């Protein structure tokens, strides 16, 4: 199976306006709302909402349309963050190799002492040890430091940013 790595833009070049922000806020509150329900809630036409949604998607504002599934429900109750130190010239191939490890949920390039931060899940401590070994065996990995997540204190959220309103516009 070929794995491709996509680097999504971290910066949206065109500013969002108040209507975009209201639309995103309504979606953040209830991601299952239909276009018609969004139009009714926001007092906009269905065509306006649909056009705005298409523009936002084109700008890469939406990260994913998949449902977030709790890995614990799949038998992976442990979560850990692994800081990886790599040989920079091997980073592109290494990212592909790491993406092929199913227990790695996310990976980010970093500044600072580590080069990558991986969010991984495991069945238990022994499984985490196995996953760590797979990461260390990848060509280009020099060192990996593992930190076990004890609990999620602040879940992923954007609502406070939406409530603040568009910045830079």
Segment 55-104, tens digit of pLDDT: 999 888 888 777 788 999 999 999 999 999 999 999 999 999 999 999 99
Domain architecture of the chain: domains with CATH: 18-66 (1.10.10.10), 71-148 (3.30.70.920)
- At 126-157, the pLDDT tens digits run 999 999 999 999 999 999 999 999 999 998 88
How distant is the alpha carbon of residue 61 from its chain centre?
Answer: 12
State pTM to two decimals.
0.78
């Amino acid at each position: 199976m070929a794995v491709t790595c996509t680097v999504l833009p971290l910066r949206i070049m065109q500013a969002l306006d108040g209507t975009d922000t209201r639309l995103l806020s309504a979606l953040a509150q209830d991601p299952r709302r239909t276009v018609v329900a969004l139009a009714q809630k926001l007092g906009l036409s269905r065509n306006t909402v649909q056009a705005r949604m298409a523009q936002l998607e084109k700008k890469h504002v939406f990260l994913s349309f998949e449902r977030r599934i709790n890995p614990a429900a799949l038998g992976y109750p442990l979560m850990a963050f692994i800081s990886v130190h790599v040989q920079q010239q091997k980073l592109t191939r290494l990212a592909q190799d790491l993406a092929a490890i199913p227990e790695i949920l996310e990976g980010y390039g970093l500044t600072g002492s580590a080069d990558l931060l991986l969010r991984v899940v495991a069945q238990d401590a022994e499984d985490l040890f196995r996953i760590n070994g797979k990461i260390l065996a990848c060509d280009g990995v020099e060192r990996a430091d593992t930190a076990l997540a004890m609990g999620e204190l602040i879940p992923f959220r954007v609502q406070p940013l939406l409530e603040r309103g568009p910045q830079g516009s």
